[in-house]
């Protein structure tokens, strides 16, 4: 059990500067890391950005929030989330508080196995090709591993070769070779792509076919992370609704997502609401995780919910989320972006698997928040207050005027830029 406490009372009522101090106190971050997390003032310099992507003209900022209350495998965590959408950080923090009452999130993960694919066409004899590939497995693996000696030295690298055959495709039969690679703490895209390109000429010789595509698969279904949370009826109870009634509603919400792909897509978007912001804050390839998540949700042939919910024998609501999570803590933007490094430091992760487990816990938390709101008062009530603040700011309100205008619009149930502008004019006259 850790000694840190992520349950920081009234965190949301503090100023951004006070919150930053609380975060520093939580983890003993160095002043330089605190400065980086504060953002602005060219934390990611244009010079550095220019080396990251092409045609750079500047950098782009997002709000960075901290989700509180998380307890993961008995350890308290403050979770950095970079995201533009209101309610996500508050929802995840609230759900983490509910889960805490049932022991917090229990997480686990598989090894970091990824697949690199080589497409072979015009293979004259498929059976002979398959036999040739499998009998030269050691040579194929050695060729692949010569591309990434660092990974191999650390105990990872290519470890298996598989052959798949598609007898018909729009261009005829396809032989697809999979290289199974343990990426350890790297996301692995670069290593896998280099390996796939390196083994392609050897595979052409062995199969007498022609290699075309040589690329990783983002369906990283052998690199899974899992989170489980137990929600007690007491934790879920509301002034107007018993915990049992909330559980009933949440189970109906899950049932809807389990059977209907239209609903499952939105349900899974709610899960990714918790995951993408952590990926962005820590410099990950969030498109890869998104692609893998949705493909995994359709693995049975029908797109369905990524999470699973049921009532246990004690009457608690149990949620489980298992999904592919290809993340890395070495290489890529994690090393180049100063804020990503500070975010990883705050999370205290020392392996890619730990980061994946934090992400999946954040995803389950977002799922809890959305399902609970949807099964009770609906999401608009909580969302509107935050949305109203954005509308107030969009018409030029600053300081305390933002909250005054937002509160008035929520009271009036009219959250529109025109009304915000009107209120801004009225209130500006009062305050000057
Ligand atoms: C909004 O960003 C996410 C939700 O639509 C998720 C869901 O419907 O479960 C609230």
- Whether 2 has a pLDDT exceeding 80, the answer reads no
Could you confirm whether 269 is annotated as catalytic? yes
CA of 322 to the centre of ligand 1 (A): 19
For ligand 1, what atom is nearest to the CA of residue 257?
Answer: 9
Q: What is the pLDDT of residues 266-305, one digit of tens each?
A: 999 999 999 999 999 999 999 999 999 999 999 999 999 9
Name the residue at shortest CA distance from atom 1 of ligand 1: 270
3 pLDDT more than 80: no
| C-alpha 174 to ligand 1 mean position (Å) | 40
Q: For position 1, what pLDDT does the model report?
A: 45
Q: Which whole number is the average pLDDT over 216-238?
A: 98
Query: Residue of the nearest CA to atom 9 in ligand 1?
Result: 267
* Beta carbons of 256 and 303 less than 8 angstroms apart: no
d(CA 54, CA 215): 21
pLDDT of residue 336: 84
Query: Which of 238, 241, 243, 270 is CA-nearest to residue 254?
Result: 270
Spatial neighbors of 113 by CB under 8 A, at least 6 apart, are: 180, 181, 182, 183, 220, 222, 223
Say what the pLDDT of residue 296 is: 98
Question: Ligand 1 centroid to 12 CA: how many Å?
Answer: 22
Confidence check: pLDDT of 431 > 70: no
pLDDT-derived band of residue 335, with 50, 70 and 90 as boundaries? confident
Quick one: which atom of ligand 1 is closest to the CA of 371?
Answer: 9
- Please report, rounded to a whole number, the percentage of residues in the chain having pLDDT higher than 70: 99
- What is the reported pTM? 0.92
What is the average pLDDT score of the chain? 95
Residue whose CA is closest, atom 10 of ligand 1? 370
Q: Whose CA is nearest to atom 6 of ligand 1?
A: 270
Which residues, judged by CB distance below 6 Å to any ligand atom, belong to the binding site of ligand 1? 85, 266-267, 269-270, 273, 370, 374, 379
Reported as a single tens digit per residue, the pLDDT across 35-51 is 999 998 888 999 999 99
164 has catalytic annotation: no
CA 369–ligand 1 middle distance (angstroms): 9
- Dump pLDDT digits (tens) for 123-148: 999 999 999 999 999 999 999 999 99
The helix (H) or strand (E) run that includes residue 107 is strand 106-109
- pLDDT of res. 379: 83
With a cut of 90, say whether residue 331 has pLDDT above it: no
Give the residue among 195, 324, 339, 228 at the shortest CA–CA distance from 268. Answer: 324
Q: Out of 50, 85, 160, 260, which one is annotated catalytic? A: 85
Tell me the pLDDT tens digit for each residue of 380-413: 777 787 889 889 999 999 988 998 999 999 889 8
């Amino acid at each position: 059990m850790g000694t840190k406490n992520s349950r920081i009372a009234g965190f949301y009522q503090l100023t951004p500067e006070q919150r930053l101090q609380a975060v520093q106190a939580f983890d003993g971050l160095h002043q330089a890391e605190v400065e980086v997390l504060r953002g602005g003032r060219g934390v990611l310099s244009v010079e550095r950005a220019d080396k990251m992507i092409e045609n750079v003209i500047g950098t782009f900022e997002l709000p960075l929030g901290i989700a509180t209350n998380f307890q993961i495998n008995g350890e308290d965590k403050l979770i950095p989330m970079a995201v533009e959408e209101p309610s996500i950080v508050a929802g995840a923090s609230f759900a983490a508080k509910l889960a805490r009452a049932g022991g917090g999130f229990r997480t686990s993960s598989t090894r970091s196995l990824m697949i690199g694919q080589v497409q072979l066409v015009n293979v004259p004899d498929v059976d002979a090709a398959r036999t040739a590939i499998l009998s030269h497995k050691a040579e194929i693996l050695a060729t692949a591993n010569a591309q990434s000696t660092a990974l191999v030295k650390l105990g990872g690298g290519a470890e298996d070769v598989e052959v798949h055959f598609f007898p018909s495709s729009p261009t005829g039969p396809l032989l697809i070779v999979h290289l199974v690679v343990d990426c350890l703490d790297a996301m692995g895209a670069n290593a896998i792509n280099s390996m796939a390109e390196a083994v392609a000429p050897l595979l052409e010789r062995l199969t007498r076919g022609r290699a075309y595509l040589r690329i990783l698969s983002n369906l990283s279904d052998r690199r899974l992370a899992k989170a489980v949370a137990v929600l007690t009826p007491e934790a879920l109870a509301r002034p107007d609704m018993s915990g049992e009634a909330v559980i009933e509603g949440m189970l109906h919400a899950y049932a809807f997502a389990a059977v209907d792909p239209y609903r499952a897509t939105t349900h899974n978007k709610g899960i990714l609401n918790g995951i993408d912001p952590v990926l962005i804050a820590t410099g990950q390839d969030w498109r890869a995780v998104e692609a893998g998540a949705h493909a995994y949700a359709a693995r049975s042939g029908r797109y369905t919910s990524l999470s699973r919910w049921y009532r246990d024998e004690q009457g608690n609501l149990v949620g489980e989320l298992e999904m592919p999570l290809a993340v890395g803590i070495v290489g890529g933007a994690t090393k180049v972006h100063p804020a990503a490094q500070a975010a990883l430091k705050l999370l205290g992760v020392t392996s890619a698997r730990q980061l994946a487990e934090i992400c999946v816990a954040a995803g389950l938390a977002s799922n809890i928040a959305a399902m609970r709101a949807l099964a009770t008062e609906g999401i608009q009530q909580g969302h509107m207050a935050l949305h109203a603040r954005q509308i107030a700011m969009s018409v030029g309100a600053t300081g305390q005027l933002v909250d005054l205008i937002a509160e008035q619009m929520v009271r009036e149930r009219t959250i529109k830029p025109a009304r915000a502008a009107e209120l801004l004019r009225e209130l500006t006259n009062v305050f000057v």
